Chain A
């Protein structure tokens, strides 16, 4: 009796991998979290007088929720452009370690740099969390198109939410807008926990949860950057020490 192949990597084309990623996005809670989050963001943009097209363009170009919230509220409040640029940049430091810990999963020795531009641009918390979970079982040559499909699908979800939110804007009660803002920490915490495999993952999660608000409360400059470097290095160091003792 011929055994049925579980996967047929070489036959599946890049297009099929892209579509698989595009479809996988809608099985993830992140697609719905993005819709909700961008309903809230669009209501904010509407209140500050930005057009729906401007919001859509910012989602394509910036593709980072917290940075977009800062951009809309600071520009809308008339802050100096240079201050806005610095605030946006500080809020997006997390993208650096995320890209560094995603690209080695998808590239091959012969991968051209320009083929990594789109996956790097699509890297955001939602896509990073789900890519780390879904990519490892896939054959390497399918990972770039899969990641692109996943990221673009999430971006589509955000645009759908943005469209809804823009028209709902004036009728969004404060309770609902608070609930939409709460989607981000709730879903990020659970999804990150689900991805924790190694001791260093767990320790980094706990150290970050403690250090983040503590450093912000003490008004340490670049609080998130330090949270990452101190919390992440401690977690990695302890993990390595334990491994060495075995």
Chain B
């Protein structure tokens, strides 16, 4: 039982707090900012760049079992998904499904 309690204390101390600090800092910084300001425009560009960095990192340096899929198949799947999104009336669903199908077929062909 104390082991279980310990897991929840750890969750708050090393999971919740170090993560939430960024949101609370954002709340404080955003207080004086309005939608038309230059700082807001800059923060939007920074947020998009960070997110793009996260996306590319997962594809190029993937976690867990995704690392077992060769890089060529991962990149091919991302490209096919993107093209499907553009081709099928900018449908996010179509893009995600196409990318997943290519990844699975590629991995199967590779023998995973």
Q: Which residue of A lies closest to B90 (CB)?
A: A194
Q: Is A105 an interface residue (CB 8 A)?
A: yes
Q: Is B1 an interface residue (CB 8 A)?
A: no
User: Considering the complex, which residues of chain B in the window 95-112 have a beta carbon less than 8 Å from any beta carbon of chain A?
Assistant: 95-96, 99-100, 103-104, 107-108, 112
Q: Is A99 an interface residue (CB 8 A)?
A: yes
A100 touches B40 (CB 8 A): yes
User: Considering the complex, which residues of chain A in the window 180-222 have a beta carbon less than 8 Å from any beta carbon of chain B?
Assistant: 181-194, 196, 200-201, 203-213, 215-217
Kindly state the separation between the CA atoms of A245 and B104 in the bound complex, as whole angstroms.
Answer: 48
CB distance from A178 to the nearest CB of B (A): 4
Mind listing 19 A-B residue pairs with CB under 8 Å?
A85-B17, A92-B19, A93-B22, A94-B54, A95-B19, A103-B26, A125-B54, A178-B65, A178-B112, A182-B99, A186-B99, A189-B81, A191-B92, A194-B85, A201-B48, A204-B44, A211-B53, A213-B59, A231-B53
Q: Is B87 an interface residue (CB 8 A)?
A: no
Contacts of A117 in B (CB 8 A): 27
Kindly state the separation between the CA atoms of A208 and B58 in the bound complex, as whole angstroms.
Answer: 13
Contacts of A212 in B (CB 8 A): 52-57, 60
B55 touches A88 (CB 8 A): no
Q: Which DSSP category, helix, strand, loop or mixed, fits chain A's interface?
A: helix
Q: Which DSSP category, helix, strand, loop or mixed, fits chain B's interface?
A: helix
Contacts of B16 in A (CB 8 A): 61-62
B14 touches A229 (CB 8 A): no
Pick from B18, B92, B103: contact of A190, CB below 8 A: B92
A→B interface (CB under 8 Å): 28-29, 33, 44, 50-51, 54, 57-58, 61-62, 64, 66-69, 71, 75, 81-82, 84-86, 88-89, 92-105, 107, 113, 116-117, 120-121, 123, 125, 128, 174-175, 177-179, 181-194, 196, 200-201, 203-213, 215-217, 223-225, 227-233, 235-236, 239
A228 touches B46 (CB 8 A): yes
Kindly state the separation between the CA atoms of A228 and B43 in the bound complex, as whole angstroms.
Answer: 9
User: Considering the complex, which residues of chain B in the window 9-56 have a beta carbon less than 8 Å from any beta carbon of chain A?
Assistant: 10-27, 29-31, 33-35, 37, 39-56
B103 touches A179 (CB 8 A): yes
Contacts of A66 in B (CB 8 A): 54
Contacts of A93 in B (CB 8 A): 22, 50
